A and B are shown apart, each in its own frame.
Chain A
Amino acid sequence: GESVGLHLPTLSVQEGDNSIINCAYSNSASDYFIWYKQESGKGPQFIIDIRSNMDKRQGQRVTVLLNKTVKHLSLQIAATQPGDSAVYFCAEMEYGNKLVFGAGTILRVKS
């Protein structure tokens, strides 16, 4: 399948600041996207998802933005906390419920 990639491998933010993690995807036929958080020694944890008929979706402290024109996805985390430190993956669902992951971004929160 086509690849899903991330612009920044590592992001360091100060506690309390907002974080923005970006993702570029190349399969224009994808219509469903998911953000996952993975902490050390654990499996990926679902954060938020968005369908291609939407351009924004909000959760608790998190917002996902989808720009289909430039095939770009972003995850915004408000008031970043030390517990947000993890690796964040975007993923797109391809035909047959096949979930393809992007490269990942490490988020480090400085206290």
Chain B
Amino acid sequence: DTEVTQTPKHLVMGMTNKKSLKCEQHMGHRAMYWYKQKAKKPPELMFVYSYEKLSINESVPSRFSPECPNSSLLNLHLHALQPEDSALYLCASLGPQGSYGYTFGSGTRLTVV
């Protein structure tokens, strides 16, 4: 399995809702990432997990809460989002030393109404 799987593919949520995005990989990668991508813009890094521990938080608002329950799974919990948070949320994983190149999932298209 050489894929990063993200669910759901599309999500519409209200500003008072709580939802979660899920990311899964079974490549044995030990670093996993969340990126946010607005239309016609490059992906922007949000969080990095290394060996299941949060190593980088790019000053992301607390309404986004990441979680890494195990080495294969990464979640992004969403609460009280704003319409400007609507974007494509991408998950990626990074191979071991000497085998670089992130593998990206297809993303979750999030719309906040």
Contact = CB atoms under 8 A, between A and B. Distances in A.
Given A97-B31, A98-B56, A46 B42 contact: no
Chain B interface residue bracket vs A: 20 to 34
Interface residues of A, number: 21
Contacts of A43: 4, 90, 92, 104-107
B72 interface: no
16 contacts: A34-B102, A36-B104, A41-B106, A42-B106, A44-B43, A46-B102, A46-B103, A49-B100, A89-B43, A97-B31, A97-B48, A98-B45, A98-B48, A101-B42, A101-B43, A104-B41
Main DSSP-derived SS at the B contact region: strand
Interface of B: 4, 31, 33, 40-45, 48, 50, 55-56, 90, 92, 94, 100-107, 109
